[in-house]
Amino acid sequence: MPPVAAVSLVFSLVLGVVLWIYLIRLSFARSSGMGVVALLLPPLAFIQLLSDPEHREQLLVLFVSILLFSSIAALER
């Protein structure tokens, strides 16, 4: 694996963990049930939190960054 692909893959994994922790934090701030959903089904919590205009921009920036680094890692293989 080329170094660029390895670094991009690590960045995408780290950003994925950051996004998941952010989802959990926001979901538990809304309700305990939503927090449990974020722990067990993160995509469902992500879709639910996209309806919140306060946090939509931050969530989308993290998500697009993950997609960007993942695609760089896939193209460099």
DSSP code per residue over 16-68: HHHHHHHHHHHHHHH-HHHHHHHHH-HHHHHHHHTT-TTTHHHHHHHHHHHHH
pLDDT band at 12 (very low <50, low <70, confident <90, very high): very high
Q: What is the pLDDT of residue 76?
A: 81
- Model confidence over 40-66: pLDDT tens digits? 999 999 999 999 899 999 999 999 999
In angstroms, the CA 33 to CA 67 distance is 28
- Model confidence over 14-30: pLDDT tens digits? 999 999 999 999 999 99
